[in-house]
Amino acid sequence: MNKENKKAVKILIVDDSPDTLELIKRNLELIGHTVYTASNVPQAINFAEMFKPDIVITDWKMPVYDGMDFVKHIHSTYVNMGIMMITGYASIESAVQAVKTGVDEYLPKPFTDEELAISVNKLIQKVKNRRKLSPTDIDMSSTFGLIGQSAEMQGVYDLIKKAACSNATVLITGESGTGKELVARAIHYQSKRSKAPFVTVNCAAIPNELIESELFGYTKGAFTGAFTTRAGFFQTANGGSIFLDEVSEMSQNVQVKLLRVIQEKEVTLVGSRKSIPVDIRIIAASNKDLKRMVENGTFREDLFYRLNIITIEIPPLRNRKDDIASLIDYFAARFAREAGKNAPHFSDAALELLLNYDFPGNVRELENLIQRVIVVVDRDVIYPAELPVYMRSTTFSLDSTELRSLAEAEIEHIRAMVEYTQGNLSKAATILGIDRKTLRNKLKLHK
C-alpha cells in the first residue's frame, strides 16, 4: 500500500466472478487502497465484521443471496459505510431501486479503470463528509463551545492550555466571528481563577465618553448623573479575569490608564485620587492589526507589548475547513433541541456547498445560517434549495470567476449581501455573522 496516499481507505469487494474481483482489486491497490475480496454475501458479512471497511463494492446478481441483501445488512449494522453497486443488468428501474435501498454509487458493467476510480473517489469523499458529521468525531469534552479537531485548532487548544497555567496577559487576534470570546472563556475556566468572576467588556459597544467610567468606576458627584459611587468592570472582575474585546477601539487616554492597571495592578475611580488594588488577569482581543496601529500612532506601543505577552491567533473558518462539518452537526443538534425538533440530515449536495463556501463571517455566519435552516425548514433532509441563494450562485460561478484577491472576494460578497437585504445593514450583518459596526467599517474601507 502506498503510504503517501492520504486518501487511502479500506475497501471490501463482493462478486461471484473471480476475474472481476481480481481486476477491481488490482486497480484499487495500484492507487494505494487496502482491498479485501469476498465471493459471496455470507463471506462478505464476516469480512465486514472483521475488517470494518470504509466502503464496500458489491455485485447485484449473485447466487443464494444477492447484492441488495448485503446492502440491507450493511445499513442495519454499520454507520457511515459507503456502498457502491456494480451490475451487468443495469436499468433505470434497478438504479432507482438501488438508490432507495441506500446505495451511494451505481456503476454499470462493463466499466473502464478510469470510471471505477472516479466512482470510488466520489464515494470516498461522501463517506469522509458524513463521518465529519458524526457526533463521535466531535470533541464534546469541551464545555466552552470550541469545536474542531483540525491541525489549526489543535494549535489554538495547545496555547489555551499554556495560557491557563500562566497569569500573563493574553492577546487574542482573529477576524470577526472566529470565537475570540470562547477562547478567552476557555483560558479563564481552565485557570486557577476559574471560581472567580469572568467579566466581558465589548470596548467597541461603549461610547468613548463612557468607557473610562465603565471600566474604572466613579465616585458620587464625579460628573453630571453620578448620583452614587459605583465600581467599574476592573473591580467587578477582582480575583478573576477581564476580557477586553476590541481593545483597539480604546481612546489614547483610556489606553494610558489601562497600561497603569497592568503595571501597577491598581485602578483609580473617576473623580477620585485614591488608588484601589486589583488582582485581575487581563485578556484582550482585536480583529484589527494592532502592530500596524502602533506604526500608525493610533495604539500605544508600550501597551501593545504589555498585552502581547501570549498571543493566540484564531484561524478563519476558510483556513480550517476540516472543522466545518463538525460545526454543522454541533449547531444543528443544538438549535434542533431548542426548537423541539429532530436534527435534520444534510444531503451530500448541501453538505458539499457548505464545505466549499468560504464563510467570510466565519463561525458566527455558519451558526446563524444553521439556526435559520433549523427554524425555517420543516423536513428531515436539507437540500441545496434550503441554503441561501448567494451561497449557491457563488459555488456555481466559481469556474467563470476571474482570479482575485481574498479582500476583493470579501467586499464583493458583502456588497451582494447589502443588495440582497435592500440596504438593511443590520440584517446583512446578521447574515454575514459580523456586527453592524464592522460591516460599516468594511464598506467605508472599500469605497
pTM: 0.62
Residues found in the chain: 447
* Burial of residue 211, with CB atoms counted within 10 A of its CB: 0-12 exposed, 13-18 middle, 19 or more buried: buried
C-alpha to C-alpha distance for 217 and 271, rounded to whole angstroms: 9
Q: Residue 317 has what pLDDT?
A: 94
For the record, the C-alpha cell of 438 comes out as 464592522
Alpha helices in 347-445 (DSSP H): 348-356, 362-376, 389-396, 406-420, 425-432, 436-445
For the record, the C-alpha cell of 108 comes out as 454499470
C-alpha to C-alpha distance for 18 and 124, rounded to whole angstroms: 24
Alpha helices in 229-276 (DSSP H): 233-236, 252-264
Q: Is 433 left (phi over 0), alpha (psi -120 to 50) or beta?
A: left
Q: Residue 438 has what pLDDT?
A: 83
**DSSP state letters, 263-286:** HHSEEE-BT---EEE---EEEEEE
Helix (H, G, I), strand (E, B) or coil at 202: strand
Are 79 and 134 in contact by the 8 Å Cβ rule? The answer is yes
Are 247 and 181 in contact by the 8 Å Cβ rule? The answer is no
For the chain, which domains are there?
Answer: 10-132 (3.40.50.2300), 151-313 (3.40.50.300), 317-445 (1.10.8.60)
C-alpha to C-alpha distance for 136 and 147, rounded to whole angstroms: 13
Tell me the C-alpha to C-alpha distance, in Å, between residue 225 and each of 203, 210, 233: 22, 12, 19
Q: Tens digit of pLDDT per residue, the chain (447 long)? A: 344 444 678 999 999 888 889 999 998 988 888 899 999 998 999 888 888 888 999 988 888 888 888 888 887 777 778 888 888 775 666 666 666 767 888 888 888 888 888 889 888 888 877 766 554 443 433 446 788 888 898 899 999 999 999 999 999 999 999 999 999 999 998 999 999 999 999 998 888 878 888 888 888 877 777 778 888 899 999 999 999 999 999 999 899 999 999 999 998 888 888 888 999 999 999 999 999 999 999 999 999 999 999 999 999 999 998 889 889 988 988 898 888 888 888 888 888 889 889 898 999 999 999 999 999 888 888 888 888 877 875 444 444 444 556 676 777 778 777 776 777 888 777 777 777 888 888 887 776
C-alpha to C-alpha distance for 360 and 287, rounded to whole angstroms: 13
